[in-house]
Structure 1
Amino acid sequence: MLALLHAASSSEVSHLRVDDFDPINRTIHLGKRPHPVLLDPDSWSVLPCCRAHRESHRTDNPHVIVTKITKFGRAAASTAYVSHILDPCGVPAPDAAVHPPGRAGEHLNTLDPRLVAVTFGMDPEGVMIYLTDHVDPGRLPEPNAP
C-alpha cells in the first residue's frame, strides 16, 4: 500500500519503525522525507494487521515488518524481502527510486510538482527527477502547430 499509494521505496518500508507513526494525525515518517506523510484510510487500516503480525512474533524489534530472522534482533527486514513480499499475488513492489508508482506518477504529470512533493512528504527536488521519465502526450504541442 505504501509503495503504490505513497511512492514508498522498498528501503523506506523495510526501515519503517513502530514509533514512526502518529496516530493522532494519521501520518508516518518515511525514510529521509522532510515531512510526515498523511495516510489515506486504506493504508491506515493495514496497520492493525502489521501490529498483530509483530505481536505474533513476540519481538522487541522496533520495525513494523518483522521476519523469522529479524524477530530476534533489532535489524530491519532486508530490502529484497520487502520488494518480493507481494510476488505470490502477482503484484511487483515498485521502487520509488527507479519509478514513481501509482498516484505519485499520475499526479506528477497533471499537477504542480511542488504540490505532489508536499502531498507525499518529499522535497520538490526529489520529485522533479521523475518528470523526465514521462511526458503526458496531452501536454505536447501539435506536430505542425504554428
Structure 2
Amino acid sequence: MVTRGTRARTTPASVAYVSHVLDPGGVPPRMLRSTRLVDLVNTMDPKLVAAAFGMTAERVMIYLADRVDPGRLPAGWAE
C-alpha cells in the first residue's frame, strides 16, 4: 500500500494507517492479509509465496490446512 508518507521510501504503510483506512468497512488488516495469502497459496506454489512475503514455508502451509484439492480426491468425492 502506497501512502503520501511511503511513496518516496521503501517502508510499508503503518498498521495504524491501514487500520484507519479499513475501519469504515469493519475489516481488520490481519483478515485482509490472511484472505490474500489464502488465495495466493491455493493458486500458486506455497514456497514461492513464502519467499515473496518473507515467511517460512511451514508458516505459509497453515493457510492450506482447511483446503482439499478436488483433483486429489477419488472419483465421486468432489461433488
The amino acid that maps onto 1:139 is G
Matched, 1:92 2:27: yes
Ranges in structure 2 where 5+ consecutive residues have no aligned partner: 7-12
- Contact 2:19/2:29 (CA < 8 Å) preserved in 1? no
Instruction: Give distance in 2, aligned partners of 1:100 and 1:130.
Output: 8
The Cα offsets for residues 2-22 of structure 1, whole Å up to 9 and x where unpaired, read as xxxxxxxxxxxxxxxxxxxxx
Larger Rg: 1
Quote the offset at 1:82 in angstroms. Answer: 6.5
The Cα offsets for residues 90-110 of structure 1, whole Å up to 9 and x where unpaired, read as 1502426xx7222x2112112
Matched, 1:139 2:71: yes
Partner of 1:118: 51
The amino acid that maps onto 2:61 is M
The amino acid that maps onto 1:87 is D
After superposition, the Cα gap between the structure-2 partners of 1:139 and 1:94, relative to the gap in structure 1 and judged at 3 Å, is farther
Q: Name the TM-score, length of structure 2 as normaliser.
A: 0.58
Which has the larger share of helix? 2
Question: Hey, which bits of structure 1, 4+ residues long, moved more than 2 A?
Answer: 81-85, 133-136, 138-142
After superposition, the Cα gap between the structure-2 partners of 1:129 and 1:83, relative to the gap in structure 1 and judged at 3 Å, is same
* Secondary structure of the corresponding residue to residue 34 of structure 2: coil
Report how many aligned residue pairs link the two structures.
68
Partner of 2:60: 127
Instruction: Give distance in 1, aligned partners of 2:59 and 2:40.
Output: 14
RMSD over aligned Cα atoms: 3.0
Matched, 1:50 2:5: yes
Quote the offset at 1:128 in angstroms. Answer: 0.8
Ranges in structure 1 where 5+ consecutive residues have no aligned partner: 1-42, 52-63, 66-78
Which has the larger share of strand? 1
The amino acid that maps onto 1:114 is K
Quote the offset at 1:135 in angstroms. Answer: 3.1
Quote the offset at 1:132 in angstroms. Answer: 0.7
